[in-house]
Chains A and B, each alone.
Chain A
Amino acid sequence: MAERRHRKGLAAVEGLPIIAVLIGLIALFMIAAPQVFLGHRIYLSFLTTVPPVLLLALGLTLVVAAGEIDLSFPSVIAFSGYLLAMCIKDLDMPWLGIPLALLGGALVGFVNGVLIAVVGIPSIIATLGTQFFWSGVTTGISGGTSYSLRTVDQSWVHTIFAGDLGSFPVQFLWALGLTVLVWLLLNRHRFGEHILFIGDSNAVARVVGIQVEAEKIKLFTLMGLLGALAAIILTLENKNFFNTQGQGYLLTALAAVFIGGTSIFGGQGSVVGSFVGAFIIVMIEAGLVATGVQGFWVRAVVGIVFLGAVLFHLGIEQPGRVAEMRRRLAHVLPRRDRSVSNGGEAVRAAPTTRERS
């Protein structure tokens, strides 16, 4: 009977295991690259590099919790970034850039939502298509050139989105505020509850009276808006726009979400996990660079961490799957290797696999 009890007490604190992982990681890098990780400058720099990843991860947490995926956000970083850069440089109206960039992101998201909820294209396919479409459009209208926006720091637009309070970067306040907001939205708001039920099962969501199509359109529009905000902060921080500026975020933002423990099957999402996950992924990148690892290897490691995190959480969420996986593995690997790699256990597993096939 005690087995049926859900997690209570310390184990129920959202994101606790992942916070432990973060602390362990910091300790590791302190040993591996003490000259960098024992100083405070690196941590301060995280406060400017984490926000774009975090804002994307927040939106993705909601999308993944709804059982969907969005692969088009790199194009929002490009498209909204372009709209902002164009207002600053070509029109000399930085203030106009903010609503225009947000509108651009919302448009991309809205179109995604309609394609997924109304037309009925699976989100992985729909957003892959729109990713290509909008990044193509951006390259086309920007002429493929990059914009240097060096003078933008005289504008209040820069002060609000990427300025400094002493040496504390303002964008981190945005990221922090939105983390709280998205947490409340997912865990305490009607909309968040609808997302969780949709992620659990579209059929159940319909039966209990949730307007699945409308909620999905809202969800993807919100994702577009958060992507646009990430684009605004990134572009203003870098004081530069180039039309491939979103591409590096595809892996990192999704990794942050899955490291954080949001379920790849939907129906459950951890905003605290994604918050910590964003730090972990940015720290791994920075830490590897600091220990002298080359860029392409960093990407390879991040890819492994991404898959490792998914596997880890899969094991926690559905322990049965791990046993299943082991059985399949035993089936695929040739007999000799099996007994070497798995010892006695594989031998015991062998008859059952034969029975089943």
Chain B
Amino acid sequence: MAMQRAGHVHAVRMEGIRMAFGKVVALDDVTFRVGRNEIVGLLGDNGAGKSTLIKIMTGVLRPTEGRLFIRDEAVSFEDWSVRRAHALGIETVYQEKSLGEKQPLWRNLFVGRQITNRWGFIDVAAERRIANQVLKEQIGFRGAGIDADSPVALLSGGERQGVAIGRAMHFEKDLIVLDEPTAALAIKEVRKVLDFVLGIKARGRACVYIEHNLAHVHEVADRLVILDRGRVVAELGRGEMSVAELTRFLIELQDRREHSDG
């Protein structure tokens, strides 16, 4: 395992990805790479195809066309699934709901990769204990009346986001995908997430980071990939553009689109 980690260049490589939902083409011939120890910021307007691209990467959606390489090895989309992605070290915080409302936090933390004996029975005590630990240490829910047995339904939007991020932190392996993780968070919590992302880099791992706040993305990303209407329109290295230039670039992109549409 360690040998392999040292050996590969890209955590994930996707080539020629095309995704059509009926007549809507969400992605068209997209190539996307994430280096072994790289933080990639994914930018683009609403509906540009960012979430769709990462869902394909994490096994939730199957593309119409395209090739996938995990640690430089080809993987068929036919047998690519959330389970395989987990097993190969890809962890995701999704933009939309990814927690079971009525289920306690300990179940939400471990669902999909429960601690079980060989007959599939869950070690509830162990899952509870670890969940309480994660809540305290990783998420920082202290004395807020929340513990491993609280159902998600009792949590605020930000707290839910915190749980989803805590889950990714706990299982962190090769690559963490964050789709607008800070959308529901207070300023102090946003800082924590950004520090977490920088920590991923420091620990030698990779991250795909999606956010609309350009200052945040600009701060943490090694490379920026800009999507527009399902196509990659620019790839920028760190420092190639300032935040102001980046903002202008994205606004121009939007203007150009409105002209061509109108």
Contacts and interface: CB of A to CB of B under 8 A. Distances in A.
Contact of B121 (A6, A188, A205, A267): A188
B60 A207 contact: yes
A346 B215 CA distance: 54
B100 A201 contact: yes
Interface in A161-220: 184, 188-191, 193-194, 196-197, 200-201, 203-211
B145 A209 contact: no
Contact of A190 (B86, B116, B151): B116
Interface string A1-45: 110111000000000000000000000000000000000000000
For the side of the interface on A, what is the size category? 20 to 34
A268 interface: yes
Contacts of A207: 60, 82, 94, 96-98
Interface of A: 1-2, 4-6, 184, 188-191, 193-194, 196-197, 200-201, 203-211, 263, 267-268
B146 A188 contact: no
A332 B107 CA distance: 42
B154 A197 contact: no
A34 to B, nearest CB: 43
For the side of the interface on B, what is the size category? 20 to 34
Interface of A is mostly: helix
Contacts of A204: 97-100
Nearest to A1: B145
B213 to A, nearest CB: 24
B114 A193 contact: yes
A200 B85 CA distance: 23
Interface of B: 59-60, 81-83, 85-86, 94, 96-104, 107, 111-114, 116, 120-122, 124, 144-146, 149-151, 154
Nearest to B97: A204
Contacts of A188: 121-122, 124
Contacts of B150: 4-6
A141 to B, nearest CB: 38
Contacts of A1: 144-145
Contacts of A208: 82, 98, 100, 111-112
Contacts of A263: 102
A165 to B, nearest CB: 29
Given A1-B145, A4-B145, A184-B121, A209 B98 contact: no
Contacts of A267: 100-103
Nearest to B98: A207
Given A190-B120, A207-B60, 4 more contacts: A190-B116, A190-B122, A197-B100, A208-B111
A1 B97 CA distance: 24
A201 B97 contact: yes
A264 to B, nearest CB: 13
Contacts of B111: 193-194, 197, 208-210
The 3 A-B residue pairs with the shortest CB-CB distance in the complex, in nearest-first order? A209-B82, A209-B112, A200-B100
